[in-house]
Amino acid sequence: MAAVRVVIVGATGNVGTAVLRRLRDEEGVDLVGVVRQVPPPGAPAPYDRVAWHGVDVAQPSSVAALTAAFAGADAVIHLPWLLQPNHDERVMAATNIDGLKHVLAAVVAAGVPQAVVVSSVGAYSPGPKRRRVDESWPTGGLHSSHYARHKAVNERILDRFETDHPEVVVARLRPGLVMQGVVGDELRSLFMGPFIPVRWLGRVPLPIVPIPVRTVSQVVHADDLADAFARVVLRRASGAFNIATEPVIGPQDVASVLGGRWLPVRIAPIRGLVWLLWHLRLLAADPGWIDIATSVPLMSTDRAREELGWVPRKDGVEAVAEAVRGVSDRTRSAGSPHLGRTRGR
């Protein structure tokens, strides 16, 4: 039986690294990685059993190189995403939106039969926090969040692509916030920046943790999300899948992980403070993340569980705690040019 050839675009990032971990030992799977900067020779697992191609998907000229990299592939997993520089949305859109267009054009040109794309809970229009919604909930995003806007645009791109190219099996995964400790330093740089001290996180108890009541979010450990990607590819599944673990993370859970007491506050003052710090470039995260946390709906994961047999192994609170420890320790992923070096090197 011929091996299944899977191309992972964005294979050295947060999610891509986890997908490599999940698939590298899967019998009968050949892995191809497409990244802007390839790992160095002799890079450790999970980067060691991969045929690498250096391509920047943001460039219009990338379609030819992507087509060559996709030759003979049974599936392409598309993961690239920029969260910074969030003061220059055009730069982010070149990767987040144009990058998807270039990859899909190459999928068609190379005759790849399946495309699997990472979307997000952030693609959803505002919705309820007291009940779950399935994959049919509108994906209009939030106008105040560049992340949500880009995800919503990509949903429309995929809708059109499915109509224009019925010969390609298309799947899109919509995960909650993706957590893992090994990329803690990347999370720090993307969301906190260089001016926010992190060594105290999870180590020094906080007297209070002010969080709005509606800050209710779903998370998933990167390894569990990677397992969902693997199941979609190996079963050649199509359509949208919500991916999140239990329990739902509320303000009390966050306060507990940080060792403090939750203080309920109104959204407006917190959002205003985040906007000010972001505007002054003292905080990396923009206020759109507050809007996502307080506005997107809670997702039902019934479809992934029933059709893919997907069952998350990592508890949601434990996943958040692992990510906080990774941020505090400024943990990095050995071998990935995207995620940096290991702690102490």
Fold of 4-178+219-245+297-313: Rossmann fold (3.40.50)
Within its chain, how far is the Cα of 78 from the centroid? Answer: 11
Residues 56-82: what's their mean pLDDT?
98
Q: Is residue 240 scored above 60 in pLDDT? A: yes
In tens, the pLDDT along 142-194 reads 999 999 999 999 999 999 999 999 999 999 999 999 999 998 999 999 999 99
Per-residue pLDDT at 343 exceeds 50? no
Q: What is the pLDDT of residues 257-290, one digit of tens each?
A: 999 999 999 999 999 999 999 999 999 999 999 9
Q: What is the mean pLDDT of residues 306-323?
A: 97
Q: Domain spans of the chain? A: 4-178+219-245+297-313
* pTM, rounded to two decimals: 0.95
Mean pLDDT of 238-260: 96
Residue 250 near residue 317, CB atoms below 8 Å? no
